[in-house]
């Protein structure tokens, strides 16, 4: 049912990891949430006492939807503010219906869409002195990166390294995503935070 990306090396304590059952349940909840909202305009209520300690614990998730291996929606939270299983449900619906880059998912598309869930670790501020120091400290295929500057912010999940493996290009594209010039990270000291993910998806 799932395919773990072996390049991902999440830094989590043993108690924070999702077991295989947790992952299956999370994917099931995400798919049911999308189907329910797209077809019936209804979201099932989650009874937290029916789920594991890890799924009930505060957790941040990103839900990524692909169709024919092309991105179809991706929305999530960087910081935990609710139980992980509720976070997955909320962001599955948001990825399907609220990603401004795409039209809402239609009923006839549901079976063509593949769901990937990323379970995020807490962010850590990355201290660096120069642009060169910054690129040297980023871990390709491991770190998700969030940047902040001038009240704006943007993030890339670690999975983005697969398409942009060069740290300089990675940061430049992240600046563009933030709405700034691509060279901002070279000319201005921006805030940089890293995190890791435990990612799993339907196959």
CATH code of the domain in which 176 resides: 3.30.1490.150
CATH number at residue 74: 3.30.700.20
Last residue of a domain, one of 102, 121, 140: 121
pLDDT one-digit tens code per residue, 55-99: 999 999 999 999 999 999 999 999 999 999 999 999 999 999 999
Q: If DSSP codes are grouped into helix, strand and coil, which group holds residue 152?
A: strand
CB 27 within 8 A of CB 1: yes
Q: Which residues contact 108 (CB under 8 A, 6 or more apart)?
A: none
Do 25 and 112 fall within a single domain?
yes
Per-residue pLDDT, 64: 97
Do 117 and 138 fall within a single domain?
no
C-alpha 147/C-alpha 134 separation (Å) is 12
pLDDT for residue 5 is more than 70: no
Do 151 and 94 fall within a single domain?
no
- Four-residue CA torsion sign, 20, 41, 65, 99: negative
Tally: H helices and E strands in the chain:
6, 8
The string of DSSP codes covering 99-140 is -TTSPPPPGGGGGGEEEEEEEEPPPEE---SSHHHHHHH--T
Last residue of a domain, one of 101, 121, 141: 121
The count of structural domains within the chain is 2
* Span 141-156, average pLDDT: 96
Look at residue 74 and tell me if it is in a domain. Answer: yes
Name the residue range of residue 186's domain: 124-196
pLDDT one-digit tens code per residue, 12-48: 443 478 999 999 999 999 999 999 999 989 999 999 9
């Amino acid at each position: 049912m799932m395919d773990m990306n072996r390049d991902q090396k999440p830094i989590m304590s043993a108690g924070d990891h999702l077991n295989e059952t947790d992952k299956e349940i999370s994917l099931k909840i995400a798919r049911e949430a999308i189907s329910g909202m797209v077809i019936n305009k209804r979201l099932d209520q989650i009874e937290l006492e029916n789920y594991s300690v890890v799924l009930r614990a505060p957790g941040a998730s990103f839900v990524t939807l692909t169709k024919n291996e092309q991105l179809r929606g991706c929305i999530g939270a960087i910081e935990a503010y609710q139980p992980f299983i509720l976070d997955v449900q909320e962001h599955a619906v948001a990825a399907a219906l609220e990603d401004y880059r795409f039209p809402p998912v239609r009923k006839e598309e549901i079976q063509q869409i593949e769901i990937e869930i990323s379970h995020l670790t807490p962010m850590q501020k990355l201290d660096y002195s120069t642009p060169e120091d910054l690129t040297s400290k980023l871990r390709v295929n491991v770190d998700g990166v969030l940047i902040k500057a001038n009240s704006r912010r943007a993030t890339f999940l670690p999975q983005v390294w697969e398409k942009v493996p060069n740290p300089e290009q990675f940061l430049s594209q992240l600046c563009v995503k933030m709405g700034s010039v691509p060279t901002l990270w070279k000319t201005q000291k921006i805030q940089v935070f890293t995190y890791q993910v435990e990612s799993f998806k339907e196959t």
